[in-house]
Amino acid sequence: MSRITETFERLKREGRKAFIPYITAGDPDLATTESLILALADVGADILELGVPFSDPMADGPVIQRASERALRNPIGVTDILDLVERVRTRTEIPIVLFTYFNPLLRLAEENPGARLKRAGIDGVLITDLIPEEAGGLIDDLRRVDIDTIFLVAPTSTDERIGFIANVSRGFIYVVARTGVTGVGESVSEDVKRIVERVRRYSTLPVAVGFGISKPEHVRDVWQYADGAVVGSRLVLEVENNLGDSNLVEKVARLAAGLIS
């Protein structure tokens, strides 16, 4: 059983829902990312999504695009991020989902990708631009080492598509709260609840909702009908707003704590 599954089962026993923050690895540098992971775990994050910076982030809005650009100035590669996770693993057991595009994972082609991710301490992988129909080999590779494969369900997904995604997903299913790219939202559409209900017809896996979740009331709303709320752009924007500030980590952690208080 993966750490992700264990976390959702524990939260269910406790009558709670998951808070899943997202940060971009290497923004503004790897040392800060390491501190952010630990700080977010300390203030109540249940699972953490760690974004791999990419030069052509098609699913990401301007906030996360700028974060990727800042990170890539260093430069930074996926192996650097895995080394970081391996260091963090000596200090926290928080489940970590690698949020990435497929291209960076091709950097691991010279070795078994699943084994390298497992050695680092990655618990799940979400590859935004890899459709399940073309992911069979990678899914098998990750399953062999008990790494969860997480896929996106969009507002436009048909029932047939949802059923297919449910069949290949492990850990949880990620429901996208809106069409388009990531970003800071003003409200959560009433349609999201109906999408979650549709997903539950096809799977008993936990369901997390993300894209546009940026306020405490958004988190509370999502928790009414889903098992987890993902907050990304709002936290990444807080990083951007405090670049060069020695209290950056504390400010981001304070914002995260406020989202779930």
CA-nearest of 221, 214, 216, 207 to 4 is 207
160 a catalytic residue: no
Three-state DSSP class for residue 96: strand
Distances (CA, A) of 73 to 53, 69, 105, 260: 10, 6, 19, 33
Question: Which residue is listed with tokens 């993966």?
Answer: 2
Q: Which residues does residue 18 pair with via DSSP β-bridges, in sequence order?
A: 228
| Residue from 27, 46, 60, 123 carrying the catalytic annotation | 60
Question: Which residue is listed with tokens 């290497």?
Answer: 26
Q: Is 71 exposed, middle or buried (0-12, 13-18, 19+ CB in 10 A)?
A: buried
Q: How far apart are CA 14 and CA 34, in angstroms?
A: 28
CA-nearest of 76, 149, 74 to 113 is 149
DSSP letter assigned to residue 150: E
| Residue from 27, 34, 46, 49 carrying the catalytic annotation | 49
49 a catalytic residue: yes
Three-state DSSP class for residue 184: strand
Catalytic residues: 49, 60
